[in-house]
A and B are shown apart, each in its own frame.
Chain A
Amino acid sequence: MAKKIYDVLIVGSGHSGGMAAHTLTEKGVSCLMLNAGPVADFEKDRTTKAAHELPYRGFGKPGEHPHIFQANEFNANTWVNEKEAPYSHDKDAPYNWVRVRLLGGRSLFWARQSFRLSDYEFKAADHDGFGDNWPIGLADLDPFYSRVEAQFKVVGRKEGWKQFPDGNFVSGPAGASADSECVKRLTAAAQKMGYGVSRMRAAMGDGGLASSVNLCLPGAVETGKLDIVPNAVVREIKIDRNTGKAAGVCFVERHSRREMEAYAKVVVLAAGTLESTRLLLNSGICNSSGALGRYLFDQQYGATVVAAMPEAMNGKARPGMIGGGVFIPRFQNLDQSRKLNFLRGYAMPMGTGSSPDAKYFPAYGAELQKLLDTYAGACIQGGIYGEVLPRKENHVRIHKTGRDAWGIPTLHIEARYSENERLMAQHAADTMEEMYKSAGFELLVKSTAVNPPGYSIHELGTARMGDNPKTSVLNRWNQSHDIKNIFVVDGASFVTGGWQNPTMTILALSMRASEYLAEQLKKGEL
């Protein structure tokens, strides 16, 4: 077969890869997409089952997914098998690396919470002196956010708050339903404390699915400009020794272990934050700054506070009394004259009208059942989406001897939360407790614990962007400072992450980088 050279080779098929393919093919750019896993068939691969029909009654095979707290026996087959694709961490510093290699990646399963970053995140260093700014700001990304929000059909309520930028929302349930009495009391209590209360912002997508496989890839395939190869586990980026530029990639066919090479004028990495960085590290490129693999961060989700609305207890809830949710975006450290004992901030998602989990009560037998009956449908549950500081010492590196099932060197992850994250979690829990009590609710549970890093499935950084090639891996266009025909369009490029689910930002960055890439290709600059 004749050697085929694509314009662009995209590694990964999740939101970032899907958006790159969508944007590039729309502009007539020929693309090859390599995905490490197979294509899932939502009809054939899923069945409704009762837990007792499963081999482990819903518990899942013990020890199968030790790092994936979200795994259960129903979804166990969707996650990456750690025996095939292992990674390591220090024993005293666990890291939950949660991966999906099906075509579409984690975009198949995300919670669809859709937020923009604000300039409190893009220009965080200007605001509080810690770390670095992004080389771009909200104004740079605003038009791309708007297009992504339209494509993903994001619903939300406009608030006009600088730290919670409004989006190009479509009309939908997020702003439509009337507040319950419980939500009104919670809102009043929050406002009394100086917090604004909004609603969750979410991507409606199509039929409840807001994935690469239904919103990005079909259009790209329709152009006739996209070829997709599943089961292609990429080993490294191939560099042309004469030009110093990327010439393509070497990959291993997943089933047969056949070694292959694919060629393109440009390589776009969209394999998911740590897989993209692993690929660069294994290729021994794009690290003149020494920043590759460093500044790993995510978001903390640990703190939890549960309360009950007394009027709704013992089955006395009537229509309109309880139900619905509130969303309180970051209100901490916005005003530098009122500094707290931690940097940055967090948001608080709260749901009302739920029943408590039995684990919350130190009881059993009839006593436990009585408690569950008492609080059924009367609970308010709040949590934290907290910013984690990007620190150089939190990093990934290639393990000296570890290899995956395809002989590709594995990652060692070294990440620890700091006092800043712990103080933030404590503050969030204290705030929720105060809010609940002020609203007249009965406190049931208060946990200030932080989760293990990685738990939020929002790993970010490790190939951050910046204007200075000495301190950053990518430029403001998600393009390698060192090798101009390599782009990284996933979460690896983040400089800070804020508290916001990063998906909208990843999509917007990928769209923006891809348009730039297409222009550069046209000009012959790549």
Chain B
Amino acid sequence: MRRRRFVTALAATPAANALLGQQPGRTDEASKLTTISPDAAALAVPRFFSAAQLGALKNLCQILLPSMNGNPGAAEAGAAEFLDFLIGVSPLERQTLYRKGLDTLEADAKRKYSKPFAELSAAEADPLLKPHLAQWTFDPPKDPMKHFLTAIRADVRTATMNSREWASAASSGSRRRRGGGGVGLYWHPVDPTRAL
């Protein structure tokens, strides 16, 4: 305790910088170095959905938003892998909506085609998906499958159109532009409250 008090008092003295390590006067050098995002160098590791759910999710994402007009589709954008992360850190209600929705599609695929949803073609998936499409309303549909399909249609578009791959395609002169990959004015945390 006495030692802790001593260290605290020491840190408050002007000489502390010399004792506590390097405190560079110039900080502009590091900011000039070019860095890349983790997605540009590595692959995300899915951790939330089961193997069957993830398989169904990957195929569903690709069916909902395939590559079109020179733009990457959900598969190229890693939308399913990103959603695995996003839903994994979402409130339980959202997690349940996705898990139950994917489980239902998997069960429907096995019942109708005797194979997992992950192996269905778009034409085979249509009869399983179209009955669950709902006209847009301000509040989400009460039917869980309609709610799920409404949510994932929007989420897949956002995950794809806000991806690094989409931004690269949008900025490429040889490809048809469809949005700028979600460029915006980002607000940093402004003097956030310090925990005591």
Interface residues of A, Cβ cutoff 8 Å to B: 37-41, 44-54, 56-59, 61-63, 72-78, 81, 84, 102, 231, 254-257, 302, 304, 358-366, 369, 405, 445, 447, 449-451
Residue B37 lies at the interface, judged by CB distance under 8 Å to chain A: yes
- Neighbouring A residues of B183 by C-beta, 8 Å: 48-51
Cα distance A405–B89 in the bound complex, in angstroms: 24
B158 contacts A359, CB within 8 Å?
no
The answer, among A40, A76, A302, A360, for a CB contact under 8 Å with B136, is A360
Cα distance A391–B25 in the bound complex, in angstroms: 61
The answer, among B89, B94, B162, B189, for a CB contact under 8 Å with A58, is B162
A365 contacts B196, CB within 8 Å?
no
- Neighbouring B residues of A255 by C-beta, 8 Å: 193-194
B190 contacts A52, CB within 8 Å?
no
Going nearest first, the 5 A-B pairs with the smallest beta carbon separation are A51-B182, A449-B138, A51-B162, A38-B191, A62-B90
Residue B16 lies at the interface, judged by CB distance under 8 Å to chain A: no
The answer, among A37, A52, A359, for a CB contact under 8 Å with B163, is A52
A48 contacts B190, CB within 8 Å?
no
- Neighbouring A residues of B196 by C-beta, 8 Å: 256-257
Residue B82 lies at the interface, judged by CB distance under 8 Å to chain A: yes
Cα distance A308–B184 in the bound complex, in angstroms: 28
B89 to chain A, nearest CB (A): 6
A77 contacts B188, CB within 8 Å?
yes
The answer, among B90, B158, B190, for a CB contact under 8 Å with A40, is B190
- Neighbouring A residues of B101 by C-beta, 8 Å: none
- Sample (6) of A-B pairs whose CB atoms are under 8 Å apart: A46-B188, A47-B186, A50-B162, A52-B163, A59-B162, A63-B90
- Neighbouring B residues of A49 by C-beta, 8 Å: 183-186
Of B45-53, B64-72, B107-115, the stretch lying at the interface with chain A is B64-72
Cα distance A450–B138 in the bound complex, in angstroms: 8
- Neighbouring B residues of A59 by C-beta, 8 Å: 86, 155, 158-159, 162
- Neighbouring A residues of B129 by C-beta, 8 Å: 364
A449 contacts B182, CB within 8 Å?
no
B190 contacts A50, CB within 8 Å?
no
B63 contacts A52, CB within 8 Å?
no
A327 to chain B, nearest CB (A): 22
A52 contacts B39, CB within 8 Å?
yes
Q: Closest chain B residue to A373 by CB distance?
A: B69
Known: A40-B190, A362-B134, A365-B63. 19 other contacts (CB 8 A): A40-B187, A44-B188, A47-B186, A48-B184, A50-B180, A51-B182, A52-B37, A52-B167, A57-B159, A59-B159, A62-B86, A75-B187, A102-B190, A231-B191, A256-B196, A358-B153, A360-B136, A361-B136, A445-B135
